[in-house]
Chain A
Amino acid sequence: MGITQRVIAPFKQTTGLARWILLSGLVLVALFILLAIFAPWIAPYGHAQVRVDGEMFPKNGPPSAEHWLGTTEGFYDVYSRVIWGSRTALQVVIISVVLSVLLGAPLGLISGYIGGWLDRVLVLVMDALYSFPSLLLAIVFAFLLSDLLGGGVLSAGVALTVIYVPQYFRVVRNTTISAREATYVEAARAMGAPRRTVITKYLFGNVVQNVPVIGTLNAADAIGTLAALGFLGLGIQPGEAAEWGYDLQRALPGASAGIWWTGVFPGLAIVLLVTGLTLVGEGLNETVNPTLRKRRLLPFSLPPRETAAVIADEPKDDR
């Protein structure tokens, strides 16, 4: 079975509530992916646009026909910022999840398979990173990377990567350790397969199954952390792209003055996208994780009466 098939296969096995959770999550996430891809066509204005035809947008303007969700204190159009923000969020999340899988999974594989002092040191370092408050870790990295890579999507994505590497490392390492002793791996070794082949051909496919679940749950977390960085002024800088967390920070001073539209909508976007990703993750978890999965019963129709009596006498099969 190819790796893609392995990844897709669980979805076919979903039933009932798990499938419903997965589907509603997928719909929400798909909505934001569409918004992100077609942002230039959907958003009426640019993410940093403050005037049209030489005329300035109103400051803190309430929702109106020209500005469906109002304008901010920086003269931006809230509706456009929310849509462009989905593009930024997804870009950052993709960068961070892909990078952390690329770093964490191979490290876990090697650490688990080779073992010894390398394994011990890596586990200790990863555990230390994991136990540290993730936001503080992201803050430190964002602080450093903003000097190095600038305040754009890339540096935010890399800053978030650091938080999630330990998780992939742990899961892949633990599965590797249990798979390492399995008969088929022993057989491969006995046939003289080099270490490299054992890791890439035999172990990789079997330990990679958990990655989609952690990936989506981490993606949900990453959206929140990105927004948190933006909210603290350490994320994506306003000139680079639209970012929901930054918009929330700018909306804060107006909140006690009753200016609600600048904050409510970007926040709602965060909530919806995080919920969508969480639902996908939970749905996947229930299907991939055999202990949570309910098996779907195959449709079964009784055979005609006279043969039924014969079958009933035969020894029963559990399946």
Chain B
Amino acid sequence: MNVSDNNQLKEQISALMDGECQNQELNQTLASLRAASHQHDWEIYHQIGDILNSNELSIRLSDDFNTRFNAKLRDCVLSEPDRFTPSQKISTHFTGKIAYALAAMLALATILVPQFAGHDGAEVRAPYIAGQFMSANYADPSQSSLNTVATNKKVDNSRSESQTTMLRDPLIDRYLAAHQRYSNSMYSAVEYETSPIIQDAGK
């Protein structure tokens, strides 16, 4: 590492202390703190900061203060339960859980089914709420895709309805956007529109 790199890292460490470290530099800066020399910089900068704040903070800490403090901090962190660790056994049974939530959803939902002409005259299918067919057709998973199609046709017949609104959970957009950003979806070039409800709230 040359001198300018070293100075740049020192500047980044100082910026990190001030909460001004850029995201892009964060990983590099944190990694640099593993080196004893940069750890020393980190401690010295804090001492300087403390003394600038108040002369009373100009005290010499015992030599092993940092070691003991780090050990205690590590114990605290390790003993804290992980947010993603379940306290009870998890078993997921999608159909049962959803079917019942759907009853409520379907009572409210109306379906939007516009259609476009696709390439070579094929039709582009419109969105539908799959719950429409869950209870009736979902019993045999091996058949479910065929059922999806059959149900589509059923939904298609209803498209003459003039009122076209689809009720959906506005929270869905955040998952769609998150999926798009980290998955290998071809269509990600066009980001999902945030639903109007969320845009309004953001203003």
Report if A and B associate in a common complex.
no
Residues in chain B within 8 A of chain A (CB atoms): none
Q: Footprint of B on A, CB under 8 Å?
A: none
